[in-house]
Chain A
């Protein structure tokens, strides 16, 4: 038995020596030839940068994997969710209109009007709104256009449309930011949230109640939209500026991030803008004329912005 055990032990030791010998052969040799294939490949796929006579920003990088992640998020997440969000928003608004109908004036028009929006306010509003629409149409073309526009307008027109669209989108963006900033600065103070707004929001803006909740110059919903547009608009504009000047912000990781922020932010804003346009036109009688002419009827003011109405009336009485 002991002899067998000895023989086994010798065999085992011999085997181990052979195995370790084989391993030693694969190990990096001392003279520096240690850059094995797998190590090299791993480094390259992880984006290690080397030397290149070509002097581009990323010329030394053989493989940059970041684009795969960006492609997946943009194509497989942002695009379908954005399409769903836009469609659902339109569906909700259409059903709201069918179920609730138009919010009419409860009292007949008095014929007396109050000034609600000064010329500068209206100018700012319609500048931002007009540019928003152009930017949204060209932006949505960039995100979704390739799936249906070539069939609709033909490939030549599509090429021209996208060429012009990109140019308009790139140049209008900074102008949009300027007008948005002016508008936000001018309207920020009057859009501070108060307890009245909280009550207004809790009661759902009187959507399902007969009684209209009290509101000042702006109601809770309008203030929500204002701050949503202010913050979202700034995020979209900031990321848009980065995309506008690729020569100055050339790192593709930054541009990929900017692109995603830009797309997600814009889609959310467009959904919000659908709601805002719906409320301002078909949903509430008498709302649009305020922003078109600057004047609203007293009965509209009393119904929708009672506290503001009383404030203005008190001021008028004081002047008399």
Chain B
């Protein structure tokens, strides 16, 4: 069984925000909510590094652990999804998430939070696949069509990879070798090391 993961290759990300746009359009995400964002550290400086980030579909997901209504569930492929019918908009998942993935539209009086919205790995929600309800609440369900998330599919430099963890890491490992690391080593140091590579 596949274990779905995102990986963003910081050496390739050019901060074009194509992933953000693709996600917003494909899932028809509501106003004020961004399921994905690109963050640039040291913007405009020689050490500038950009990474695209969204829900990382954690194995031990903090949002699942703290949700008072237990509305999260994990698919067989490790995708973390949630049920908007049960969600009460308390915001606890946002308190717990390291990546700032849960998003809340402001609804009703006093700036209350509406139902939480986050990246679904383009896997829809608990409703029937490709139903109107699923479309309205969660957006696209590309996984059910045998496709991968559109953010990664549309990434112009193929910096953002999505798919089975093993395949994603195989692709990444090949890149590291091709970039000429002397020992063919790969890992965190090279994954997030835009500047330190050997020419």
Interface size (B, Cβ < 8 Å)? 54
B45 to chain A, nearest CB (A): 8
For B97, the chain A residues whose CB sits under 8 A away are 64, 67
Assess A71 versus B88: contact at CB under 8 Å? Given A35-B47, A40-B193: no
For A51, the chain B residues whose CB sits under 8 A away are 39-40, 43
The answer on a CB contact under 8 Å between A67 and B47 is: no
- Give complex CA distance A61, B53 in Å: 10
The answer on a CB contact under 8 Å between A150 and B70 is: yes
Give chain A interface residues in 61-110, CB to chain B under 8 Å.
Answer: 61-65, 67-68, 70-71, 74-75
Give chain B interface residues in 30-88, CB to chain A under 8 Å.
Answer: 34, 37-43, 45-47, 49, 51, 53, 62, 65-70, 85-86, 88
Is A223 part of the contact surface with B, judged by Cβ < 8 Å?
Answer: no
Name the residue on B nearest A41 (C-beta).
B192
Give chain A interface residues in 201-249, CB to chain B under 8 Å.
Answer: 244-248
- Give complex CA distance A27, B66 in Å: 43
B29 to chain A, nearest CB (A): 12
Name the residue on A nearest B49 (C-beta).
A40
Pick the interface stretch among A121-129, A156-164, A270-278: A156-164
Pick the interface stretch among B108-116, B129-137, B146-154, B159-167: B108-116
Name the residue on B nearest A69 (C-beta).
B96
Select which of B51, B110, B195 is within 8 A of A245 by beta carbon.
B110
Name the residue on A nearest B110 (C-beta).
A245
Is A11 part of the contact surface with B, judged by Cβ < 8 Å?
Answer: no
For B45, the chain A residues whose CB sits under 8 A away are 32
- Give complex CA distance A211, B37 in Å: 72
B80 to chain A, nearest CB (A): 15
The answer on a CB contact under 8 Å between A162 and B69 is: yes
Is B169 part of the contact surface with A, judged by Cβ < 8 Å?
Answer: no
For B37, the chain A residues whose CB sits under 8 A away are 52-54, 56, 59
- Give complex CA distance A37, B193 in Å: 4
Is A259 part of the contact surface with B, judged by Cβ < 8 Å?
Answer: yes
Name the residue on B nearest A256 (C-beta).
B95
For A159, the chain B residues whose CB sits under 8 A away are 69, 85-86
The answer on a CB contact under 8 Å between B49 and A35 is: yes
Is B123 part of the contact surface with A, judged by Cβ < 8 Å?
Answer: no
The answer on a CB contact under 8 Å between B20 and A162 is: no
A167 to chain B, nearest CB (A): 8
- Give complex CA distance A54, B19 in Å: 12
A88 to chain B, nearest CB (A): 24
For B189, the chain A residues whose CB sits under 8 A away are 36-38, 41
Name the residue on A nearest B56 (C-beta).
A63
The answer on a CB contact under 8 Å between B68 and A67 is: no
The answer on a CB contact under 8 Å between A248 and B91 is: no
Is B94 part of the contact surface with A, judged by Cβ < 8 Å?
Answer: yes
For A252, the chain B residues whose CB sits under 8 A away are 94-95
The answer on a CB contact under 8 Å between B39 and A50 is: yes
A163 to chain B, nearest CB (A): 5
Assess A244 versus B110: contact at CB under 8 Å? Given A62-B51, A256-B95: yes
The answer on a CB contact under 8 Å between B95 and A36 is: no
- Give complex CA distance A197, B65 in Å: 46
Assess A247 versus B106: contact at CB under 8 Å? Given A51-B40, A146-B68: yes
Give a binary string over B92-105; 1 marks a CB under 8 Å from any A CB, 0 the rest: 10111111100110
Some 10 contacts from A to B, beta carbons below 8 A apart, are: A40-B49, A40-B192, A65-B98, A67-B97, A70-B95, A75-B65, A162-B68, A162-B69, A256-B95, A259-B92
Known: A31-B46, A59-B37, A246-B104. 9 other contacts (CB 8 A): A32-B47, A34-B47, A35-B196, A52-B40, A53-B20, A53-B37, A70-B95, A143-B68, A247-B112
A-B pairs, top 7 by smallest CB distance, nearest first, are A247-B111, A37-B193, A32-B46, A35-B47, A51-B43, A50-B41, A54-B37
